[in-house]
Amino acid sequence: MTTDYTDAITRFTDKVAAAVLAEFIASLGVSCNVEKIWDPEHLEQFVIRVQRSRVTELQQALDLKPVLTRLSYVDAQVVAGRLARDGVPCYVGGLHVDSPRGGDSDVPIRETTEGTAGIDLMIAVPSQYVRDALRIVNVAPLSDEQLTALALADEQNSKDSP
């Protein structure tokens, strides 16, 4: 008998944010579950879990691009809720220095090394939602040339990784 374990990929305080990302993940053909949990340290109530054997596939399919970095825990969760209410799926991740988990998720999907203690989380969105996310968070949208440069740089970085 084989068991395919699931891993938490991100956690939210907001049920809508968790549901919007889970629906997007499911649309990519990767099954996932939103579970209600209790995390007394961060008051996270919802976790998204995917099959461990599909995490790498999900990382590639999501094609996440950071839109905000160096956020506090509260700011990241507030922005995630705001994006979700406008239909933009987002991932909360980053370098969570003071957490025993070592990150804001058990299995990081897209992380950053930017930040300092207390201001170390980021919001990333699937590439097709970058413009909408930037508009929603009132950041000047990137030009087509900047988006192309970002995509090419990210593609080059992924080729350099093992």
Q: What is the pLDDT of residues 142-154, one digit of tens each?
A: 677 877 877 777 5
For the ranges 57-61, 106-110, 122-126, 136-140, the lowest mean pLDDT is seen at 106-110
Q: Residue 90 pLDDT more than 50?
A: yes
Structural domain boundaries of the chain?
A: 6-160
The residues with which 44 forms a beta bridge, in sequence order, are 39
Cβ 56 vs Cβ 66: under 8 Å: no
* pLDDT higher than 80, residue 99: no
Query: Angle at Cα 55 formed by Cα 49 and Cα 58, nearest 5°?
Result: 95
Q: Measure the CA–CA gap between 127 and 134, rounded to whole angstroms.
A: 11
pTM of the model: 0.73
Give the residue from 35, 5, 3, 11 showing the smallest Cα distance to 109: 11
Residue 98 — pLDDT band, cuts 50, 70, 90?
very low
- Give the rounded distance of the alpha carbon of 34 from its chain centre: 14
20-78 pLDDT, tens digit per residue, is 999 999 999 999 999 998 777 767 789 999 998 898 899 899 999 999 988 888 899 99
Residue type, 120: D
Q: Which two tokens stand for residue 150?
A: 């970002």
